[in-house]
Amino acid sequence: MALPRQEVADGLAAELARFEDLVRSVDDTGWAAPTRCEGWTVGDVAAHVIGTMTDVVNFRLDGLGTPEVTARQVEERRGRTANELADELAGTAKMAAELLPGFDDEAWASKAPGTYDGTLGDGVEALWYDAYLHSDDIRSALDRASERGDGTSLKASISHLATVLASQGWGPATLALDGVPEWPVGDGSGPRVQADAFAFVLAATGRAAPSTVGLDETVNVYR
């Protein structure tokens, strides 16, 4: 279940602003640097995140997140500079900020439009998580330190991963992670997973070995 509607709306807006600033900070050499996302450069990662947001605000929702749509988002932006993509995101983020207040709590809890398997709230929270996670992919590629911020984006990431893990049949368990509230996976009746929250995000997304948080490969949502 997604976090409350206003919290997600505010968190997504703040994360997109940080992502825009991050993209603008990348020089030409960094733009071409390989990332831990196999086959993707920093520019490709940025193109995916920004392309996803542009598709969403223009209601191009079918197949969102599939390899085919992701490849299209990247190819459509091939050859564009960091500042050009940052400018696109600035406009897209403004449209998102104008759209989100139009959804009430009933709509938030209803099935998301398009092919996304979850509620509207889950889908918007996933956008927040995606921008946060890919920001760290970019920083890693540029040999910059990870940024946890005030913890709100980390909390949203744990919330999203708990939802995905439950949908994949992992658990039940309780995520009792440092720095964020406890999160049940399923009914929470299983074991308590105790680890650093950011380390859990990396392990649950295939960016670090699951053994770093005392788990096995089944925790990787992208396996």
Alpha helices in 100-196 (DSSP H): 105-108, 120-141, 152-167
What is the pLDDT at residue 1? 74
Comparing CA positions, the residue from 33, 78, 31 lying closest to residue 51 is 78
Residue 177 amino acid letter = L
Residues in the chain: 223
* 3-state percent breakdown (helix, strand, coil) of the chain, nearest 5: 55, 5, 35
What is the pLDDT at residue 28? 96
Residue 14 amino acid letter = A
Residue 127 near residue 52, CB atoms below 8 Å: yes
- Written as tens digits, the pLDDT of the chain (223 aa) is 789 999 999 999 999 999 999 999 999 999 999 999 999 999 999 999 999 999 999 999 989 989 999 999 999 999 999 999 999 999 999 999 999 999 999 999 999 988 888 899 999 999 999 999 999 999 999 999 999 888 999 999 999 999 999 999 999 999 999 989 999 999 989 899 999 999 999 999 999 999 999 999 999 999 8
Pick the CATH number of 5-141 from 1.20.120.450, 3.40.309.10, 3.30.230.70, 3.40.1080.10: 1.20.120.450
pTM: 0.96
* Residue ranges of domains in the chain: 5-141, 154-219
Pick the CATH number of 154-219 from 3.30.1050, 1.10.357, 3.90.550, 3.40.30: 3.30.1050
Pairing relation of β-strands 183-185 and 173-175? antiparallel
Comparing CA positions, the residue from 118, 149, 42 lying closest to residue 85 is 42
